[in-house]
A = this chain, B = another copy of it.
């Protein structure tokens, strides 16, 4: 078991993108500022997606403009679903692009109106663009642990996509449990296979806590030597295609667990809890994370 892991705060992007209540640009910027203040070195700040499809992300450029001058030394990840998104993210100053391929055909069609093969081809175009700009590229494989429409996604299919996109020499490859159906044995298997494909690419996992397996999956990922874990403060988020789903695995739930297991994240759990309470106020509802409700253990002295 590795004694440390780096978390990536994705609440500003995956956490907010499905929220019905519009969140102001100022609050998005405040969320990112709070994340950096809690110790994150890498934040997925926004998604450069068609604003008609995801209205919450319509202010992507404005968010970046509010952050960039002060945090140019951090990793500001912009999500891109296609070449146009990658162009916008680079123009806005993102110093890492996260491009999404989807492992299952029906979800690929619903998410990006393309086939898996077309998304893999798109990765090549995005890679050329991002390389020309001298920035690192992350490639995420969505529905890697299962698809809400197509059901089981064979690990061989996921690894075939991984092998294809690894030829583009990305900095990082991410395996996303988009609908929170994965279990630790899948994580262990997938990461071992990924390590066999490449000894150098950075490995990331992205878990949703929809079926209460997020923390267990994250621990399995650390045990398997993952480099990065996505997490969302307050456990905010949720997939629009999975009704009643909870969101990304909560940052503070992971940090609590890792702290007590002696796995270092470099993050300040009290600031995370404070941010979760603040974000709950911004969104006007309780958030799913357990820790922000129960409090740390041992309890802080009064």
Seen from chain A, the residues whose Cβ lies within 8 Å of a Cβ on chain B are 146, 148, 151-152, 179-181, 183-186, 209-216, 219, 242, 244-246, 250, 253, 256-257, 260-262, 289-291, 293-294, 297-299
Which of B210, B215, B291, B299 meets A294, CB within 8 Å? Answer: B210
A181 vs B214: C-alpha distance when bound (angstroms): 17
| Copies of this chain assembled into the complex | 2
Q: Does B250 contact A183, Cβ atoms closer than 8 Å?
A: no
Q: Which residue of B lies closest to A182 (CB)?
A: B260
Chain B residues near A291: list those with CB within 8 A: 211-212
Tell me if A's interface is mostly helix, strand, loop or mixed. Answer: loop
- Closest Cβ of chain B to A132, distance in Å, is 40
A291 vs B212: C-alpha distance when bound (angstroms): 7
Given contacts A184-B219, A219-B184, contact A257 B297 (CB under 8 A): no
Which of B183, B184, B210 meets A290, CB within 8 Å? Answer: B210
A212 vs B213: C-alpha distance when bound (angstroms): 9
Q: Which residue of B lies closest to A292 (CB)?
A: B244
- Closest Cβ of chain B to A24, distance in Å, is 29
A39 vs B250: C-alpha distance when bound (angstroms): 33
- Closest Cβ of chain B to A185, distance in Å, is 4
Q: Does A244 contact B293, Cβ atoms closer than 8 Å?
A: yes
Chain B residues near A250: list those with CB within 8 A: 212
Q: Does A260 contact B185, Cβ atoms closer than 8 Å?
A: yes
